[in-house]
Structure 1
Amino acid sequence: MNSVSGVSYPVESRHPGWPARLGPLRVPAGEVAIRPVRLRDAGEWSRIRLRDRAYLEMWEPTGVGPWPERNAFWSWPSQWAALRSLARRGQCLPFTITLDGRFAGQITVGNVIRASLRSAWIGYWVSSEVVRGGVATAAVALVTDHAFGPAGLHRLEATVRPENVASVRVLTKAGYRQEGLFERYLDVAGAWRDHYCFAVTREETGAGLVSRLVASGRADHV
């Protein structure tokens, strides 16, 4: 609590909602859970991203340097440290997606803006081995509910290339709605690409996106 002129009022945490552990939820692929990113994720993170280059590179923003260097084992510590620093400043919520306890991808709520906006974007990727098992949809639902609960946000946005049918399906099943098209929005795979904008606000989620997944039979509580 803080006090001004004898009146006490609560002080908002610099990083509400992080760190946190979410889930698990059972989906066809197994048990999906969410936890903070760890330094020791380096090995599995690098192994999966190097193996899945053809699957991931066509959807992710163009980075500096070649893919093998940016996703090598030794490049993870600096990325992890940067994510943790942003989280401690309340600017993002960086999480690891696990499937049956093993590293399966990442999901991040980034560019967190508070005050009267309380908005952020959500981005994710999962291993190519689990793209059709409900893992990404469960992760998006878990993190969205968390963002609108303990993290205190009001609106989340996600952008996705129109050609990325799998990711469009994930967002739609999770409960996001398409708002429009951003033309030449991001440099992806060496060119400026159009992206759909999907969004959801707290009022639209009702009892929560996880509850919707469970009610629809797409997931179960463990």
Structure 2
Amino acid sequence: MINREYIEYNNIINLDIKAIYGSPHKKQNLKAIVDEERFKELLLAIENYNGNIFTKVALQISPYLFLRSANIRNLEWSEIDFKNSKITIPANKMKGGEDFIIPLSGSVVKLFEFIKPFSFHHSKYVFPSDISKSKTMSENTLNQAIKRLGFGEEMVFHGFRTTASTLLYEFKNLHRQDSEFIELCLDHRERNKVKATYNRSLRLNDRKFLMQWWSDYIDQLKGIP
């Protein structure tokens, strides 16, 4: 309009769009420990945590499973299959909207068996709220516990997923599993229905092997024979 001389001045072109709407959103990198020695220190600190028993065991289990916070906090006893050593999280709880199966190592099963008497007869949740057994653990509980352990500047709960992903890729020469299986363990799946079914079923043995390798790796860092 200006260059055709219909108007002499246009206020719009001089507006500070950033000042009005803010800068474009930048994806924030969540804090995560990816150094092996520091990860070991975190694992040992969790073992010595002296706070709430549900918080402690949730923190003990989470490095093995690297699930999202909501999946850990909302985990129900009915979703754990002790006989077949696996968890099946229903589609309505998963970010991708599909059932997700997680193979369990012996170390993880032992932790679930340890915590079971504390909540099984009082709550459907594995890690209930300390205030009411009918409610789940609050969203900030696990992050606050990590802070109390002295790792708040380096780690948030979601960082367990980044830690596992980073180290599993770093040690591919040891476990010899393809990237596909690492991504499947993180629930980064092909959302095509046919392929999703294939990944969920036929690839379970491969994921079981990788999850067991990861469990053994963590046990080794913690000095568990």
| TM-score for both structures, normalised by structure 2 | 0.24
Q: Compare CA radii of gyration and give the structure with the larger one.
A: 2
The structure with the largest strand share of the pair is 1
Given the two structures, how large is their TM-score scaled by the length of structure 1?
Answer: 0.25
